[in-house]
Structures are given as C-alpha cells and as structure tokens.
Structure 1
Amino acid sequence: MTTPPDPTPGPDGRPDFAAPPPSITDASLAPPPDATTPQPLAPLSPRVSEERLHPLSPLVRGWVFVLAGGYALFSTIIQGQIRWEDVTRIGSLVEQMSGWSLALIAALLLSLGFGYWGWWTTKIVIDDNELRLENTGAFQESKRIAFSRIQSVDINQRLAARLLGLAEVTIDVGADAPTTLSFLTRTRATQMRDYLMARAHRQQVATSDTVRTASAWDDSAQGDQVLIRLHPGEIILGAVLSSELPFLLLAFLVPLGFSIWLQQPWIALGAGVLPLIIAMGGFLSKRLVGQFNYTLATTPAGIRLTRGLTTLHSQTIPAHRVQSVQISQPLLWRPLKRARLTLTVLGLKLGDDSQDLSTVYLPIGNPRQIQLALTALWPNLRLEDLRFHRTPRRARWLSPLSWSWLGYARDDQVLAVRDGWFERHQTIIPHARLQSMQISQGPLERRLRLVTVVALTGGTLTHTRIKHLEADQARGLAFGEMDLAREARSQERQAPPPTGATWHLTSPTAAESTDEAHLWTPSTSIVDPQPPSLPYQAPASPADR
C-alpha cells in the first residue's frame, strides 16, 4: 500500500490541501543506497557431453574374422608358402597366398572398413534430460532415450571384450527394443550405468558422482552389499539333480535298448550318443557356464544380478516392474531343502543369448537364501507369516497326487498360490500387480462342486491357476483380491515406493544373519469355511426383497 505525500504547509502553518503536491522524480523512486538491485539471470545452458565408442569396438565385433585372417596368415607362414622377408613385398605376397586365404583377408578388411565407418559416424550425446545416439553416416539417425523411460541398464562382458577390458551397455526402456552401446571401457560402462540408473530414479547427480571401480570378476564396486554368492558346487549340484537330466538320460536309454535288441550299435551311436552329447553340452552351458559365479547384491541403483564364466552378465532388476516370483523345487531337491526362484518382469527385453538368464532370479538356494532374495524385492514379506488354505478333500479325484499341496495364502501385500507335484511351485503375486481375476468351472469340477480361479498379471507368463476351491470361497477370493489390488494401487499412487536407493558411496556392510527360514509357507490343517477377508455377498433375489 502506497502512502500519499504530506500536503504543503500554508502561511499559518496549517496544511494547505489546495496546493499542488510535490513532483515525483526518478530520484525519489530509487532504492536506498544499501539495497541491492537484482540483476537479470543469465540463460542456463544445458550440460552436454559427446563421446564415441571405444576404438577397438569394430575389432571386437568382428573377432571371428580377425582370428580367421590371423590363422590364415600364420598357417601360410608356418607351411613355408610365405617367408618373412616377403611380407614387405605386397605383390609377391598376394601371388603366393591361396584363394581361401585371400577371401578371408578381404572379408576381414571389408568388415573392419564398415565397422570403423560406423564407429566414426556414431556419437553418444548426454544432456540434462536424455541420452541420444547420433548416427551421421549414409542415413542420418538420432535415437533419443529420456531418462524417465529407462527401466534398467545392464552390462554384458563377452569373452573377446572381456579380454580387452571392454563391456557393452544395454539400456532397456520397456516396450521398445533395447539400445546397446558396444563397446566401452569397463570403467566407463560402470559409470554410465550408474549415472543412467540414478537419473532414471529422478536423482540429480553428476557423472563425477558415479565414478566407481568395478571388479572384473563379479562387477562388484564400492557401495554394493552382497546378499548371496553361490559356490560352484551349488551350481553343479543343482544341474545334476535337476528335472531335465533324467529326461535326457531317458532319451539316451531308449535308442540304446533298441540297438541292443536289434544288435545294431550304429542306432545307439546315431540316435542316442550324439544327440545326448549335444543336449548335455547345451544344458551344461546354460546351467554351469551361464550361472557360474552367481552374485545377488543391493547397489545404490537397485538389485543387481551378476553371473557367467566366459561371458559376464550384470543385470539390474527393476523391482517395481516385477509381476510375480515363482519358487520351484524339483523332486530330487526336496531332501536337500533347495529351491529355485524365477521372475516375471513386465517389459524386460534383453539380447537373444540372455533370454534364458533373464527370468532366473536365484538358480538354487537354501531357505535362508530364498528369504533373503524375497526380502530384497519386498522388505516386509515373510513366508512364515503366511497361512495356506488347502483345497477340499474331494479335490483328490481331480488331482490325486497334488491335492494336499494345492491352495493359496494372502496377506495385505501379496497373494501366494501352490501348484505342481513332481516339481512343486509356489507363485507369489503382489496385489498391486494383479490385472484381473477369472472364475472357471469344468464339467468334472461342476459335478464335484469345485471352482478354479485364474489370476492374471502383466507380462508373458500371466496365468496363475488356483485350482479346485469351494464355490463361495472362490467368489470371495476373486472379488476380495480385486478390492485389495485396487487399494494397493491407490496406495502406490499416493505414496510411490522408492525405485532405487539414494545415491551414496559407502563401504559395503555385511548382510544381517537371520534364523533358519521356512522354504514354504505353513499350511492350514483344514479348509476355512469362510473366506479369510472381504467375503463375497450374493445380491438378494426378487423373492427375498
């Protein structure tokens, strides 16, 4: 509010309101001398960094041609077709080389030429909002990845790249195809992964804040807390006692029996031994080589899985996109109290050679390791706190071997479902990830007054069947789960769970030791006559109104 100036005093000393007011000058509007005049802000220029991939990237991509060309040159020198003093004379050197050697060298040079052309015309640009992959070759292309769309950033160190200290970065953005940066130095790849994950979690950090030296053996660095590290003996034990191995041996014994009966040994060799060797090689490569040196750790950017002997895969798990976790226990694992954890992650896309590894959360583990792995995803989940509701006794006519194992359990956080007999399964689904519930009833179930409930979640492996329930119990479960799912999603919108730890570089601490945990949730001895929560009430009929 502006105060008007005092009127000019008259001859008698009284204010003269008829006199004109004093003139207002620019000097009267000037601020006092001690006040600071605000200066206009200078426009902020975004921080932009540009870089190229490692210069050895074309050599690593075409390492097969490099080895073939080197072998061709080395073999011709060893055989005496080329002498060392002839190497400087290109004309005589070409005349002395064989045709297939020239073809390999020409393919190598052509591949390297195209590789280095692509390397020179490709740049990585990072600013305050996004990462861009600029290609200015024959066809100009700019691929933009906003930090908010990044779901996970993984590092793969293939054998050829690993020997040279290089790694490739795979950026997963959900529905679109992943973007791969091949190749960077191991240090730069770790720094870029940590920086992108921090920005994806809406953390304002600089690239200098994420400089960490990662181990070449298991990709561990300062600030990581290792929860589970599997011994190679555990991996071998899980492969030998797995469910697939008996079927592989059975596939070999059948042609062996036919060859003995027909007295034709070539049948066992062609139809049994060779396929068995190929199948066993692929099986051992996936289970032993692929899962070797398995490590589960919590890092400043989230949960990280590292595994592999020749090729080291380092995978970041987006916990908020995990749709379900399945605990599996083959028949031969039961006396040892071992189980395997697999994940269903919405929108997760990796390379073709990593599809089998992407769903395995824990290859093999004891009850304590199972509980640790589940706690890393959902800190408040305890298997021993759940209580299962078994199927009624008359369900044994439909599932004679597994009816006592079938059932479900739930609390305010998850829904757990049991299934299987030869290989027992227990699927854990968070309420917030449920999309819909279905109720189905086959002809045999209708006669036994039983109902099957199907829980659907996002992803590819979406159907989880809760078999052979009472009709009232099934309706109460289906409608109650949708209410719990709606409430859980509402709570997530009001208070979103953290998608990653706050970025800080601290020394890793030892994992807390816990008591022996239960592998399975305890079962109830009888079936509950009423649904555990949110019972379904049928609408009143017109006659009852």
Structure 2
Amino acid sequence: MSDPSLPEVPSEAPPKVVERPSPLTGIARGAIALIAVAIAVGRDFVESPGDADSAMLVMAGIALVVIVLIGLGGVITWRTTTFIADDEEFRVERNFIWRSSSRVDYTKVQSIDVSQPFIARLLGLAKVHIDVGGEGGVDLSYLTKRRAEALREHLLEKMAVSRDEARTHATGGADPEALPAVADAEDELIVAVSPTTLLIGSLVTLGTIAAVAGGVLLVGLSILSEATFTFIAGILAIGGWVWGRVGKNWGFRMTRRGGALRIHRGALSKANQGLRPARVQGVVISQDLLQKLTGMYEMRVTVLGYAGGDGDADDGSNAVVLPAGTAADVQRVLSALWPELDLTTVTVHGQPPTAKWLTPLTFRTHTWGIGEHVIVAEHGLLENRRTIVPHRRMQSASVQQGPLQRRLGLASLSVHTTDGPVDLQIYHLAEADARRLLQDQVERARLARRATDSVAEVAADEAAGQALEVEMPEGRTGFEPTEGEPLR
C-alpha cells in the first residue's frame, strides 16, 4: 500500500524504439556498380573475342572484389545507421567515421516520397525521402516496402497534427474540420495517363524523332566501320531515350488525399511522390509541332525544395506533373494545383509591331497576359511553351535590353522563381511598357503576399528567402518615366 504522504514519483518515459535499415541495403546500392563492371568487361570481350579466357578471368576477379566490397558496405551501413520514428520526433543517426544526427521537425515536413529503384524493388525494398522545403531533406534507404509505407503514413499524420497545433496556436482557436485525418482520407483520382496516351504523347515528338535519328546514324556508322561496341551503344542510346520517356512515367496517376497531391509512376522502378500545391512556384505547358497534330501536352512544375530531385530522379522527372495528356487533362491538373485559376479571364497581349524585326517567324506566337492571381507568357516556333507563375510566388523581376532592342526601343521582362524548369520571359515589349509592367508586377506580388491567409505559407516563404528583387539593365538605374508619371 502506498503512503499518501509521500510525493508521487513521475513515471519514466518509455524507451525509444531504435530501428535499422534492411541488411540488404548494401546489395541494393551496389548492384548498379556491379552491372557497370559487367558492361565494361563485356565491352572488352566483344571487341577482343580472341582473349575470351583472360577476359573471363578478369571479369570474375573484378566481380568477386565488387561483391565483397558491396557485402562489407551493406553490413557497415546496416550496423551504423539507426532511426527513431515516434510521436515526438523523427531522427536518423549515422555513426561510422563521422557521426551525424538528422532530426526532422514535423511542422516543416512538406512531403514524403517512397521510391523503389529496380534492384531495390526486386529485393522488396524502398527508399523514403522526407522533403522539408528550403532546408533540404532526409533520405532513409533502404527499408522493406511495408515498413516504408507505414513510415510514410505515420509521418503524414504527425505532419497534419503538428500543423493543426501550430494553426491553433497562431489563431487562438481550432477548427475541428480544418484538416481531415490523413489516415482516414481516401485517394481522389485527378488524372490517369493510359499506356496509349503515354506512347503517343511521349514518342510522337520532335525530341524523340531527333534522338532516334541520331541513334540510327550511330548504328549505321558502326556497321560501316565494323565497330561492334559502337553498334551496341547506338542501340542502347535509342532504347535509353525511349525508356526515359515511357518507362519512368508508365502507369502515371495523380491523386489527391488530405489536401496534398500524390504522383504514382514507373514501370520497373516505382515512385510515389508527394506534392503540396502550396509549394508549386510555377507551371510550364509545352507542345511541339508533332504533339500539336496529336493534341498532346506535357506539364512541368517548379517546386520549392525540389530543384535537384531526390537522387533517383535527378534527370528532372520529379518536375513532371503530366507526361502526356489532352487539353482536358491539363485543365484538371491546373485546377488541382490552383483551384482559383481561370485562364479565360486573362487578357492576351501581343508584341509591338517593331518586334517583327527580331521575331519575324514567331511574332504572332509571342503573347502575354496578367490575371488576378497569375502572370502568363506564351511563345515558341518548333515548341510552344505557356508559362504560368502566381503573383505571390515571384521572387524577383528584371528587365533586359540588348543593343538591337535599344535601337528599336524594345526591352524584355523576366520573372524569376526558385530553380526549376519554369522560366517566364516576356520578349520585346515597348521600352516604356516593359518598365511599367516591371513596377506593376512587383506591386502585384507584394499585395498577393500580404493577402495570404496561411501563416504557415508565409513562414515557409520567409524561410526560403523569397524576397522580391528588381533588376534593371546593366549600367542603368531604370528607364526614364513618361511625362506626368512618377517612377515608383
């Protein structure tokens, strides 16, 4: 029986559950190196078939060394990497030659991506990437697929709870319906790209035709010169291009769950990418001449904190939000990203007549417009590109004027966001119009930022250093104002 006169001793906190990656991590990481060694040795074997015995011995020796190193690296990675994922924190520690500890603040988590490179998929493993915006991210590889998916759901739920608490603290009250439980939400399909659409939209393009033509030329030259390995390289180049366009986006689907978008793609290597619309800085919609015949479009975005990809997709595939689709598909994706956007309300403007001297073939394709929420520019000859940037996502703006433009009284305007595929340019405006548009656009961006209702988004912008900047042509402080109009 306890004595009521004695003070209560606080119960000890439960011990942290420390986990490790899969012991097969080293094999998943080193398999590509092993394949590269096999290709290198195989090249020598093909080019020098008379030395087959020595080539086989060399290949066996190198393969043995690589396998030993891979096994040793896997054991070291498994033994020196630990992580903790509970209600209080997510932390990854690595203790080998250097000690490092990465702790993730749940309130700063932007998305959690789960990817399965081909070798890892064969082993039943997956990689988890936690994006924390401008501060970079944390990678954890490799876990079993089931554990990776469970970890993603746990992090998503903790992210939602932490943001709800932060919103309650900032506003002084809570809205029980403001943020639905992530675990209970169902996926809503936004767009799905069928195999037929993907094949037509990805292969019937000028880029694919040029790549295939170059590969065929390389194969033809190799046949004439009897260079066997060059022939194989040409075949692999063609196959690699086609696979990069089709294989990585096979089974592409965009869904919405709990206020966030999810992108599922990949044939051999699977990827499950999270995307918060609030992080999208701009969109570019492209269509070349062949795609115009088939009615296909491609969409890419610039996402804050995702300029470099996740390492498994360093070719920029993370930026693709629609690899191939119709105009209706484009509209569905735009509505998912920015529900308030209505491009039909944007008044279209063209270039002044003097710009024909600089753009004789594309004069009619150079258009731009200003909407309530966005600035839009469109141009192109072989490939038409429509670029859309929300006012509040603009980081800086600048005016450029080359010698020919100066003689014609023209100037170009650039609107900058974070690093990525989106690059908005309005070419060859009248000099006074370019200056006026620059100043007006900076003011629109400032007003749009002030009007935001999301405290979290404002804090994220400040953390990412999204300050507005204005740049004028080198050696000039600005164009002279017209009479009666002050220079703001």
Cross-structure match for 1:419: 379
Q: What is the rounded CA distance, in whole Å, between the counterparts of 1:147 and 1:541 in structure 2?
A: 50
Asked whether the 8 Å contact 1:151–1:173 carries over to 2, the reply is: yes
Match 2:205 to one of 225, 242, 245: 242
Q: What is the rounded CA distance, in whole Å, between the counterparts of 1:133 and 1:125 in structure 2?
A: 7
Q: Secondary structure at the match of 1:290?
A: helix
Shift in alpha-carbon separation, 1:169–1:448, aligned structure 2, 3 A: same
Asked whether the 8 Å contact 1:229–1:294 carries over to 2, the reply is: yes
Cross-structure match for 1:308: 266
Asked whether the 8 Å contact 1:453–1:466 carries over to 2, the reply is: yes
Asked whether the 8 Å contact 2:34–2:63 carries over to 1, the reply is: no
Give the root-mean-square deviation of aligned CA atoms. 3.8
Matched, 1:184 2:149: no
Match 1:400 to one of 352, 355, 360: 360
Asked whether the 8 Å contact 2:215–2:235 carries over to 1, the reply is: no
Task: Map Cα deviations across residues 481-519 of structure 1 (whole Å, 9 max, x no partner).
Answer: 1111001111226665699xxxxxxxxxxxxxxxxxxxx
Matched, 1:279 2:237: yes
Matched, 1:453 2:413: yes
Q: Secondary structure at the match of 2:395?
A: strand
Matched, 1:478 2:446: no
Match 2:155 to one of 185, 191, 196: 196
Q: What is the rounded CA distance, in whole Å, between the counterparts of 2:62 and 2:416 in structure 1?
A: 55
Runs of at least 5 residues in structure 2 that lack an aligned partner in the other structure: 1-6, 37-56, 166-180, 460-479
Task: Map Cα deviations across residues 385-411 of structure 1 (whole Å, 9 max, x no partner).
Answer: 322111123322211121111121121
Match 1:319 to one of 249, 252, 277: 277
Task: Map Cα deviations across residues 305-339 of structure 1 (whole Å, 9 max, x no partner).
Answer: 11110000111123222221001001111122221
Q: What is the rounded CA distance, in whole Å, between the counterparts of 2:242 and 2:295 in structure 1?
A: 22
Shift in alpha-carbon separation, 1:294–1:482, aligned structure 2, 3 A: same
Q: What is the rounded CA distance, in whole Å, between the counterparts of 2:62 and 2:232 in structure 1?
A: 33
Shift in alpha-carbon separation, 1:475–1:273, aligned structure 2, 3 A: same
Cross-structure match for 1:13: none
Asked whether the 8 Å contact 2:202–2:324 carries over to 1, the reply is: no
Q: What is the rounded CA distance, in whole Å, between the counterparts of 2:302 and 2:353 in structure 1?
A: 32
Task: Map Cα deviations across residues 58-84 of structure 1 (whole Å, 9 max, x no partner).
Answer: 44344579999xxxxxxxxxxxxxxxx
Count residues with an aligned counterpart. 424
> Which shows bigger deviation, 192-201 or 406-415?
192-201
Cross-structure match for 1:375: 335
Q: Secondary structure at the match of 1:492?
A: coil
Shift in alpha-carbon separation, 1:61–1:541, aligned structure 2, 3 A: closer
One-letter amino acid matched to 1:142: S
Shift in alpha-carbon separation, 1:390–1:44, aligned structure 2, 3 A: farther
Q: What is the rounded CA distance, in whole Å, between the counterparts of 1:395 and 1:268 in structure 2?
A: 52
Matched, 1:146 2:98: no
> Structure 1 vs Structure 2: percent identity of aligned residues?
29
Shift in alpha-carbon separation, 1:462–1:227, aligned structure 2, 3 A: closer
Matched, 1:54 2:40: no
Q: What is the rounded CA distance, in whole Å, between the counterparts of 1:102 and 1:235 in structure 2?
A: 43
Asked whether the 8 Å contact 1:65–1:108 carries over to 2, the reply is: no
Asked whether the 8 Å contact 1:326–1:428 carries over to 2, the reply is: yes
Q: What is the rounded CA distance, in whole Å, between the counterparts of 2:370 and 2:325 in structure 1?
A: 24
One-letter amino acid matched to 2:18: E
Shift in alpha-carbon separation, 1:118–1:399, aligned structure 2, 3 A: same
Matched, 1:366 2:329: no
**1:275 Cα deviation from its structure 2 partner:** 5.6
Matched, 1:159 2:118: yes
**1:538 Cα deviation from its structure 2 partner:** 4.5
**1:472 Cα deviation from its structure 2 partner:** 3.4
One-letter amino acid matched to 1:169: V
Q: What is the rounded CA distance, in whole Å, between the counterparts of 2:402 and 2:116 in structure 1?
A: 50
Shift in alpha-carbon separation, 1:402–1:143, aligned structure 2, 3 A: same
Shift in alpha-carbon separation, 1:458–1:351, aligned structure 2, 3 A: closer
Higher helix share: 2
Shift in alpha-carbon separation, 1:245–1:48, aligned structure 2, 3 A: same
Task: Map Cα deviations across residues 326-383 of structure 1 (whole Å, 9 max, x no partner).
Answer: 0100111112222110111222143444022112121111011101111111011123
Match 1:224 to one of 187, 207, 210: 187
Asked whether the 8 Å contact 1:405–1:419 carries over to 2, the reply is: yes
Q: What is the rounded CA distance, in whole Å, between the counterparts of 2:62 and 2:237 in structure 1?
A: 34
One-letter amino acid matched to 1:354: A
Q: Secondary structure at the match of 1:50?
A: coil
**1:121 Cα deviation from its structure 2 partner:** 3.4
Shift in alpha-carbon separation, 1:46–1:478, aligned structure 2, 3 A: farther
> Which shows bigger deviation, 162-171 or 306-315?
162-171
> Which shows bigger deviation, 245-254 or 159-168?
245-254
One-letter amino acid matched to 1:227: I
Shift in alpha-carbon separation, 1:425–1:270, aligned structure 2, 3 A: farther
Q: Secondary structure at the match of 1:228?
A: strand
Q: Secondary structure at the match of 1:400?
A: coil
Shift in alpha-carbon separation, 1:478–1:122, aligned structure 2, 3 A: same
Q: Secondary structure at the match of 1:281?
A: helix
Under a length normalisation based on structure 2, what TM-score does the superposition of the two structures give?
0.75
Cross-structure match for 1:533: none
Q: What is the rounded CA distance, in whole Å, between the counterparts of 1:420 and 1:268 in structure 2?
A: 41
Q: What is the rounded CA distance, in whole Å, between the counterparts of 2:206 and 2:58 in structure 1?
A: 50
Asked whether the 8 Å contact 2:182–2:258 carries over to 1, the reply is: no
Asked whether the 8 Å contact 2:284–2:421 carries over to 1, the reply is: no
Runs of at least 5 residues in structure 1 that lack an aligned partner in the other structure: 1-38, 69-97, 213-221, 500-535
**1:414 Cα deviation from its structure 2 partner:** 0.7
Asked whether the 8 Å contact 2:288–2:382 carries over to 1, the reply is: yes
Q: Secondary structure at the match of 1:51?
A: coil
Q: Secondary structure at the match of 1:287?
A: helix
Q: What is the rounded CA distance, in whole Å, between the counterparts of 2:183 and 2:364 in structure 1?
A: 54
Shift in alpha-carbon separation, 1:490–1:65, aligned structure 2, 3 A: closer
Cross-structure match for 1:4: none
Asked whether the 8 Å contact 1:409–1:417 carries over to 2, the reply is: yes
Q: What is the rounded CA distance, in whole Å, between the counterparts of 1:308 and 1:56 in structure 2?
A: 22
Cross-structure match for 1:336: 294
Match 2:314 to one of 342, 347, 355: 355
Cross-structure match for 1:28: none
> Which shows bigger deviation, 170-179 or 42-51?
42-51
Shift in alpha-carbon separation, 1:254–1:136, aligned structure 2, 3 A: closer
One-letter amino acid matched to 2:119: A
One-letter amino acid matched to 2:252: Y
Cross-structure match for 1:122: 81
